[in-house]
Structure 1
């Protein structure tokens, strides 16, 4: 699914990617929200975009495939889609986190 990072949309920005942010910008937006247990990257990215240019670097990053091996590719992507939909529909953070802990190993 790494090919999805080519799309310039917030939906393709989180998860097993890296964010490189200047310290001054991070301080300006007051960093990550401490009350977020899950999807903290999805919350911070729109705030970063408002502060200036946002670019996806054309380089690869190696991340752990453990969750994909333990949960299966399709199952994990479906669960992540469900979590995103729950978030869009306003499900509170603690319930999103409980869902994540219950269904994702």
Structure 2
């Protein structure tokens, strides 16, 4: 039951990463078209990505005693998905930082 809840939570986090990625692409296109008011949306995307990265670091991976091979496989898959989501969130943060969105400020384009 715990694995199912953790897996569901991870699936929700994955959907958030995909949603943030799509939003990032849309926002990048708007900035390219020189829509200056978009900076606040970039800041929000960066904040969401940062929050997601922190949340992913706190997903509990349980172990059974004695070790259950099925549970171990589930845990290793959850861990792999968690790491991949964290990597995507960090890539979004890095991309926003590279274009000048740093902690709510804007360096210019």
Which one has the bigger helix percentage? Answer: 2
Q: Which has the larger radius of gyration?
A: 2
Normalised by the size of structure 2, how large is the TM-score?
0.25
Of structures 1 and 2, the one scoring higher in RCO (CA 8 A, sep 6+) is 2
